[in-house]
A and B are shown apart, each in its own frame.
Chain A
Amino acid sequence: MQGHYLELYADHLGDTIIYKLDPRVKLICAITAIIAVLFTPHWQIAMLFLASTLIAVAIYKIPLRLFMRRMLYPTYIIAVISAIQPFTYGATLIYKTPLFSLPIYLEGLHFSFLIFTRCMAAIAVLNLLVITTPVMDIMRALAWFRVPSVLLDTALLMFRYIFVLSDEAERIHRAQEARCGYSQKLSYLRRLRNFGTLFGVLLVRSYERAVKVGNAMISRGYKGERLFVLKEAGIPLRHVLYGVVIFTAIILLILIEWILL
């Protein structure tokens, strides 16, 4: 098993309020923050959210390595998207690249930075939510907000089988490596092809497993209705108050931004 990377939350947080806060409150606050961040026209506001998240990470001693590692893959995608912007948008030319003489525009550059900070802040908020909340709690909260059960069932099955699949991928990869499947003597294309085979095999095995899991479900009387019953108890008043405070703070920030900036 691949352990901590796929282990989706830091469950040592124990008694801290960020861990114990009702998941519904966390979800509402996180979604409000993400929406606020994604629509802000000012990179400073996005940076403010990003900084607040990092402060929370520091205060609650969330393993920074885990936090950063989980930020890594989305950052790649955002970086690529942001990097294209300066070439595609704007009127004020500031530079032309010597190679291919590509134009770089000032407005594009600004926009690129804005997109980058917005996305990073949004992902940091989401990351904080996921790291401090067990998956089942998030799912229960989503069910409470009437998210269709088919989406939640699918998400929970994915959560269950991502570990099985990653184990399977690791076993196949090891089996290939053991017979020199990724030897440096092989051409890059050959190694790439072996990697492709891994995914092909994984796909076939996933299909086979899906059939078996389906059979096992049928044998326990499953007839196609919802898979999981997710119920949530009442929200403690104190948590609602925390939620109201955070929610109001975000809304106030947006209002101040509209009026002053």
Chain B
Amino acid sequence: MKAIETINLSFTYPDGTKALENVNLTIEKGEKVAILGPNGAGKSTLIYHFNGLLMPTSGKVKVLGREVSKENIDFIRQKVGLVFQNPDDQVFAPTVFQDVAFGPINLGLPEDEVKRRVKWALEVMELNEVEDKPPHRLSHGQKKRVAIAGVLAMHPEIIALDEPTANLDPKAVSKILELLLKLNKELNATLIIATHDVDFVPLCSDKVCILNRGELILEGSPGEVFSNTEKLRRMDLRLPRIGHLFEILKVRDNLPIENPLPLTIGEARREIHRLIKHKTSINNDL
């Protein structure tokens, strides 16, 4: 089933800036999709459409088969959780518990259910210990997790995150990654991740969409997308570091690296093992 579908989606800001042009994108349920693009490519604008925060200037956006409109906006906002780039923009309540409870209360749920959901969301995001703390006492990474817990408590089927790794230290990035993958695997949540963190993309996604100047340029698995090296570089993007290393080994050093290029440590390890075996078998033949 299609989680999100955009049909000829275009959006122009009131000041005349064209942010999106004819974007046709389909995201299936349970997929992990990275929307990659340089600054100002329209990534945030695009994901704001999924939650009905922005309405298309022309074209359509469908969420779980229903077209986003003012009439079904409550349904849309319950189904698509939006996590903003800066958690201070999102986590506004005086305590963590109250902030996570905000969404469920807006859904009109009874008090017991609100409490149950908050407890659950905090547990999933591993935040039980800080539930009574004021947000200003938390680290940036913890605040980010509170922001995710805040949308999780609304039981969304789709979670769209705007630059989830921005301003986080390496440990916090690993934690966020681990939790996002858990959400996808255990709750079958569809993840949409808008980012320009190229190294994060192959780790968090099984599909990549490249957005540049409001247009969808490339779409496919990380391996497919990152094999278009020239195109990516023209858009001020680059390969993940590991992919870049293997590109150099292949092009400059003529090593028999297979396509697609390895992009993660795991893929690189497998490829190195294959190369070693390959070399040993040649030596044995000789």
Residues of chain A at the chain B interface (Cβ within 8 Å): 1, 135-136, 139, 156-157, 159-161, 163-164, 209, 212-213, 215-223, 227-229
Contact = CB atoms under 8 A, between A and B. Distances in A.
B217 interface: no
Contacts of A220: 77, 81-82, 102-103, 106, 150-151, 154
A221 B88 contact: no
B136 A160 contact: yes
Given A159-B94, A160-B134, A221 B84 contact: no
Interface in B70-109: 74, 77-78, 81-82, 84, 86, 88-90, 92-95, 98, 101-103, 105-107
14 contacts: A1-B136, A135-B94, A136-B94, A136-B95, A160-B135, A212-B89, A213-B90, A218-B77, A219-B53, A219-B82, A220-B103, A220-B150, A221-B78, A228-B98
Contacts, number: 71
A221 B154 contact: yes
Contacts of B92: 157, 160-161, 213, 216-217
B53 A221 contact: no
B51 interface: yes
Given A215-B53, A220-B154, 4 more contacts: A164-B88, A218-B53, A219-B77, A229-B105
Nearest to A229: B105
A163 B106 CA distance: 26
Most central of B81, B84, B106 by chain A CB within 10 Å = B106
A223 B94 contact: no
Contact of A212 (B81, B84, B101, B151): B84
Interface in B143-158: 150-151, 154
Nearest to A215: B53
A217 B98 CA distance: 13
Dominant secondary structure at the B interface: helix
A216 B89 contact: yes
Contact of B106 (A136, A161, A222): A222
Contact of B93 (A1, A163, A228): A228
Nearest to A223: B106
A221 B94 contact: no
A163 B93 CA distance: 12
A159 B95 CA distance: 11
> Which 5 A-B pairs have CB atoms at the shortest separation, nearest pair first?
A221-B106, A163-B136, A212-B89, A220-B103, A216-B90
Nearest to A168: B88
Contacts of B89: 209, 212-213, 215-216
B94 A156 contact: yes
Nearest to B150: A220
A190 to B, nearest CB: 32
B97 to A, nearest CB: 10
Given A160-B92, A213-B89, A216-B90, A221 B77 contact: yes
A161 B135 CA distance: 10
A219 B51 contact: yes
B39 to A, nearest CB: 17
A229 B102 CA distance: 9
Contacts of A221: 74, 77-78, 103, 106-107, 154
